Amino acid sequence: MPVITFTINGVPVSGQQSESILEIARQHDIRIPTLCHLDGLSDVGACRLCLMEIEGTSKLLPACSTYPSENMVVRTDTDKLKRYRRTIIELLAAEGNHQCAVCVVNNNCELQNLAYEVGLEHVRAQYLFPKKELDATHPDYIIDRNRCVLCTRCVRVCHEVEGAHVWDIANRGINCEIVADMNQPWGTSESCTSCGKCVLVCPVGALIEKGATVSEMEKHRAFLPYIMTARTKQEWIARAIEED
Amino acid sequence: MTIEELEERAASEQQRQAEFKKRVLTCTAAGCVSCGAGKVVGHFRAQVKERNLAKEVEVVETGCMGLCGSGPLVRVAPDETMYKNVDLEAAHQIFDEHVVGGKPVAAYAVDPKMPFFTRQVKVVLENCGRIDAEKIEASMAAGGYEALARALTEMKPEEVIEEVRKAGLRGRGGAGYPTGLKWSIVRKAQGDQKYVVCNADEGDPGAFMDRSVLEGDPHRVLEGMAIAGYATGASQGYIYIRAEYPLAIERLKTAIKQAERAGLLGNRIMDSALSFRIDLRIGAGAFVCGEETALMRSIQGRRGRPRPRPPYPSEKGLWGMPTLINNVETYANIAPIIRNGSAWFAAMGTPKSPGTKVFALAGKICNTGLIEVPMGVPLREIIEEIGGGTPEGTTFKAAQTGGPSGGCIPAEHLDLPVDYESLQLVGSIMGSGGMIVMDSTSNMVDVAKFFMDFSVDESCGKCVPCRSGTKQIALLLEKIRSGQATPDDLALLEELCVMVKETSLCGLGQSAPNPVLSTLRFFRKEYVDLLIPKLVYEPHEA
Amino acid sequence: MTPPPASKTDHPSGDNRFKLLDRTIARFQSRGDALIEVLHSAQSIFGYLENDLMVYIARALRLPLSRVYGVATFYHFFNLKPKGRHAFVLCMGTACYVKGAEAIQNAVAKRCGVSFGETTADGAVSLVSARCIGSCGLAPVAVLDDDVAGKLSVDGAVERVGQWIAEPEQVSS
């Protein structure tokens, strides 16, 4: 496959046609913030944090699901993009109930890190304070939908890697929610294998292990690419669900 | 069926119709049915039976006749007298005096010289309200399937595409993408199977163009799709239609069955090599499914959540195969283009936007209903002449086009020609054709709030800007409306609108802020008047 | 709704309505991508989509439960709860809105004590808002059970709903 050369933020880079611009940027140590993307899972382009400007295109495109072409001029660090990223984090902060000080993943939270990174100092948007219940019916894990950012990583890992498809999204728009099976208590789900992958991939403190207290829970996500590589090499059947 | 057989069936139907002394056509499209057209038809049928006139008088149920605000509508042929507001009493009188007596009833008659009729140019709607939508023969007698026959026997697929390209037809769903170009991309795309999809998920609240076409002349759409199938090399078609349109669904089902029986759909159409089937897929109440990638996911039985493009459906569509998606009105334009030639079509409208456009005219206007005008006609002509102006005592304030994705056009732009580019220039869009008129009594902040609530409700929730941003915009609008907002809030509102527009994943989110941005552009004072002064922090004394 | 004629081979569930549903499922060869069509069919047979019914469909189409639940709650046409004996469907299309449908919405919701999209606790009235029923000339419009009421006034709407709430519980029209 031919190598494609182009520039990101003025830096000349090269990569394969089949690699997303996000992958190529990472290979060249160019940081592009992401939230819904996770190595090993399919990309959905939903969080809009990795949006970039491409010369000659009026629309902003997500780096995770856009592929390079020769001599493309990509920018990911313009003032406009930085402002938009901050607003996205601001919208997420206002959408759920995020109280870092009392959260088990405090200091290990991707949303928190992103907020630092984009310089979110205060939230101008109106807090929605949704009333959501915490589900601790599973013997090992807890889902706290108050902290969910709807990145759908859990939905994808459960379908694409574990193959159980316990999780899916119910409702739509601002009422979207992650549900187990028939929107039933997680502990009563017959399809859940209790593998815990969803807990590990969750970027925030929405899916957590029982027994962890404030700031105690660290998540390890590096296992995923290995599993996926193992599968592809052995040609196990893993059908990526196109999305969600 | 061969061409000769088609011509024969058309001729015999024309002959049959000519044998009746009088034909009474009643509109039984949704608008007229909701004001009692069913009873009127029942009365006519009873009268024919009672007076034993079955050989002289034919009672026909048709699709939309256009003047929906004055329904039920009845037309008496062959003298083409049209009646409005026909209740049972009027129906009785019309039957007695006109159908039997031969003297038109002046009291209910519509003036055929009124600009509402004379200023329209009917291409898509030429048969709407004139033929029995449930009989394939009626369609054939009006030239139906002639274009398909010609395409199959006289033209190569490339020639069909070239004809559509030369006609300059642009997508009538709103964005105005050149139809011929889309077709040729699908034709060239590689795939074992290709699909042709008709987007009949008309979700704009206040638009009923597509429904009227499907209710009034369903065969025209099937014919357009079959021609598209021939041109692109597809063998399977889907019509994705809203569940809210039960009559259109019924009539489409009937039409598909009839066309299959006549050998105009299915295997080896008209003894050619073309095989093309059409199936219906019923939507279930989600505006976002009008977006093409969401529509495809819905056809595949999934949540209608859009995905990033590229890849475009023309390369990777239904089940990963090349898929052509056009809307109802676009397909309805195909047969006339093939029948009359691209030059005929291109001569109408403007050079960049040829042809005609159907609009659903509603709101604070005298003649509400369905109209078809050449592209480029000044807005003033639509509002003042065809629409008859705003109700007495009020003045025109703005026309809203494009529904929740569009914007409003204020009085100072009344002379704007209605075409894709001009509407975009003033911050609105052509959209699918909903046109809501607002008069001096309408409050523009309320209108913006109405559309934003709609977008909040219809957002699929996948991407953050649309899911959460539209909600914040709606909250800010409510704050402004209730007189609690400061200039800071207005600044935040504008910032969020631009951000949601630029960063959302699909067309719904990208266009959701348009009603706010457009009313801010032309009616900013209405917003500013509602603001309270900025709060200033004054420390209390200790 | 008329139950299907009794036959020798009853459905194992004891509810023969499932046989009608099975026919739809068979027509689509139990394909998962026919989910929406099957849900449409199930709703028209059973009136609404009960949890057990959705589980039945998920098993028949070999789909994950949460997928079926997710699809059913995404589309507003599907009801997961039984409908009221009467339905007040208010058009909230643009034309109706411009002509004052919002005032009707607020007044009717207040009279019933529930918001649109819900059913009163006694199951008497379901309030539904629709997006343009295409009778824009008659705006504001509501569909009261199967009757289209055009040029509706706030008082008129509240009165009609009031009658439904007041009427005794047994008969459904």
State the ipTM, two decimals. Answer: 0.91
Same domain, B280 and B383: no
> Is the predicted pLDDT of residue A243 greater than 50, yes or no?
no
Residue-level pLDDT at A241: 53
Please check whether residue A240 lies inside any domain of the structure. Answer: no
**Domain check: are B206 and B261 in the same one?**
yes
- Taking CA atoms, what residue in A is nearest to B304? A172
> Do residues A128 and A186 both lie within one domain?
yes
Q: What token pair was written down for B153?
A: 């026997």
Answer whether residue B103 is part of any domain.
Answer: yes
Count of structural domains within chain B: 4
If one looks up domain C86-166 in CATH, what number appears? 3.40.30.10
Residue pLDDT, tens place only, B467-496: 999 999 999 999 999 999 999 999 999 999
Does position A238 have pLDDT exceeding 70, yes or no? no
Distance set, CA B154 to CA B151, B276, B339, C73, C85 (Å)? 6, 18, 12, 50, 59
CATH number at residue B196: 3.40.50.11540
pLDDT at B52 over 80: yes
Q: Does residue B422 sit in the same domain as residue B476?
A: no
Q: Out of A41-50, A122-131, B432-441, pick the least confident.
A: B432-441
Under the banding of pLDDT at 50, 70 and 90, the label for residue C172 is very low
Domain boundary among A52, A77, A102: A77
Of the given ranges (B31-40, B154-163, B317-326), which has the lowest mean pLDDT? B31-40
A235 pLDDT band (50/70/90 cuts)?
very low
- Hey, how many other C-beta atoms are within 10 angstroms of the C-beta on B347? 13
Examine the domain organization and report whether B27 and B85 are in the same domain: yes
B35 touches chain C (CB under 8 A): yes
Instruction: Evaluate whether residue B119 is within a structural domain.
Output: no
CATH number at residue A113: 3.30.70.20
Cα radius of gyration (chain A): 19
Q: Is the domain of B372 the same as that of B309?
A: no
User: Is position A224 within any domain?
Assistant: yes
For residues B198 and B97, membership in a common domain is answered with no
What are the tens digits of pLDDT across the range B60-110? 999 999 998 888 999 998 888 999 999 999 999 999 999 999 999 999 999
> In this structure, are A108 and A199 located in the same domain?
yes
Residue B406 lies in a domain: yes
Q: Which residue of A has its CA nearest to C68?
A: A182
Longest distance between any two alpha carbons in chain B, whole Å: 99
Cα of B206 to nearest chain C Cα, Å: 5
Q: What is the mean pLDDT of chain A?
A: 91
Q: Are residues A71 and A128 in the same domain?
A: no
What was the pLDDT predicted at C6? Answer: 47
Residue B498 sits in a domain whose CATH number is: 1.20.1440.230
Please choose, from the candidates C2, C93, C74, the residue with its C-alpha nearest in 3D space to the C-alpha of residue C36: C74
**Domains of chain C by residue range:** 17-74, 86-166
Residue B459 has pLDDT above 70, yes or no: yes
Residue B19 region by backbone torsions, left for phi larger than 0, else alpha for psi between -120 and 50, else beta: alpha
| B203 shares a domain with B295 | yes
Bridge-based pairing of strands B434-439 and C86-91 is: unpaired
Using an 8 Å Cβ cutoff, are B288 and B508 in contact?
Answer: yes
Residue C103 is predicted with a pLDDT of: 92
Confidence of residue A240 (pLDDT cuts 50, 70, 90): low
Give the pLDDT confidence score for residue A6 in this predicted structure.
97
Please report whether residue A57 resides in a domain. yes
Same domain, B478 and B431: no
- Asked, for residue A243, whether it belongs to a domain, the answer is no
* Domain match, A70 and A90 both: no
Verify that B198 and B270 share a domain, yes or no: yes
Q: Are residues A30 and A91 in the same domain?
A: no
Q: How far apart are CA B252 and CA B292, in angstroms?
A: 21
What would the mean pLDDT of C152-173 be, rounded to a whole number? 80
Q: Report the mean per-residue pLDDT for chain C.
A: 86
Name the more confident of A25 and B536.
A25
d(CA A35, CA A22): 12
- Residues 125-184 in A contacting C (C-alpha not used; CB under 8 Å): 159, 164-172, 179-183
- Domain count for chain A: 2
Q: Per the CB < 8 Å rule, is C134 touching B284?
A: no
Phi, psi (deg, nearest 5) at residue B446? -60, -40
| CATH assignment at residue A51 | 3.10.20.740
pLDDT in tens, C40-63: 999 999 999 999 999 999 999 999
The Cα diameter of chain A in Å comes to: 54
A97, A185: one domain: yes
**Predicted pLDDT of residue B126:** 94
Domain membership of residue B66 (yes or no) is yes
Lowest mean pLDDT, pick from B345-349, B402-406, B517-521, C39-43: B402-406
Residue of chain A minimizing CA distance to B488:
A124
| Rounded mean pLDDT, B48-65 | 94
Could you give the CA distance from residue B252 to residue B255 in angstroms, rounded to a whole number? 5
> Which position has the higher pLDDT, A176 or B208?
A176
- Look at residue C9 in the predicted model and tell me its pLDDT: 62
Can you give the pLDDT at residue A244?
A: 46
Which pTM value belongs to this model?
0.92
Q: Which of A40-44, B529-533, C150-154 has the lowest mean pLDDT?
A: C150-154
Q: Which of A77, A95, A122 is the last residue of a domain?
A: A77
pLDDT of residue C123: 87
Nearest CA of chain A to the CA of C40: how many Å? Answer: 17
Using a pLDDT cut of 70, give the percent of chain B over it.
99
Binding partners of C (≥3 Cβ pairs within 8 A): A, B
The pLDDT value given to residue B494: 97
In chain A, which residues have their Cβ closer than 8 Å to the Cβ of B459? 172-174
pLDDT value at A239 more than 60: no
Instruction: Note the residue count of chain C.
Output: 173
How large is the average pLDDT for residues B254-265? 96
A47 within some domain: yes
Out of A83, A88, A173, name the one closest to residue B456 (CB).
Answer: A173
Min Cα separation A232/chain B (Å): 21
A48–B496 CB contact, under 8 Å: no
* DSSP per position, B213-231: HHHH-HHHHHHHHHHHHHH
Would you say B336 and B343 are in contact if contact means Cβ atoms under 8 Å apart? no
B residues 272-311 closer than 8 Å to A (CB): 286, 297, 302-303, 305, 307-308
B86 & B163 share domain: no
A172 and B475: CB-CB below 8 Å? Answer: no
Contact C64 A168 (CB under 8 A): yes
Q: Which domain holds residue A132?
A: 82-234
The answer to whether residue B128 is domain-embedded is: no
Inspect the interface and report whether the beta carbons of B464 and A242 lie closer than 8 Å. no
Give the pLDDT score at B265: 97
Confidence at C170, pLDDT banded by 50, 70, 90? low
pLDDT, chain B, mean = 93
Question: Chain C contact for B264, CB < 8 A?
Answer: no
Q: Is residue B472 part of a domain?
A: yes
Give the residue from A168, A192, A242 with the most C CB atoms within 10 Å of its CB, the best one to mutate. A168
Spatial neighbors of B286 by CB under 8 A, at least 6 apart, are A172, B203, B294, B298, B304, B458, B460, C74, C75, C76
**Same-domain pairing of A122 and A56:** no
Per the domain annotation, does A177 fall within a domain? yes
Contact C137 B369 (CB under 8 A): yes
b/e per residue A17-29 (b: at least 16 CB within 10 A): eebbbbbbbbeee
| φ, ψ dihedrals at A8, nearest 5° | -120, 120
CATH number of the structural domain spanning residue B78: 3.40.30.10
Do A173 and A121 lie in one domain? The reply is yes
- Same-domain pairing of A103 and A49: no
Q: Is B131 contained in some domain?
A: no
- Same domain assignment for residues A171 and A221: yes
Statement to judge: residues B407 and B520 lie in one domain: no
Could you give the residue ranges of the DSSP H alpha helices within chain C? 17-27, 35-46, 51-61, 65-74, 94-98, 101-112, 154-166
Q: Is residue B539 part of a domain?
A: no
Q: What is the pLDDT of residue B235?
A: 96
Residue A230: per-residue pLDDT: 67
Mark which of A44, A77, A110 sits at the end of a domain.
Answer: A77
Range of the domain at B72: 3-112
In terms of domains, do B88 and B187 share one?
Answer: no
The confidence band for B124, taking pLDDT boundaries of 50, 70 and 90, is very high
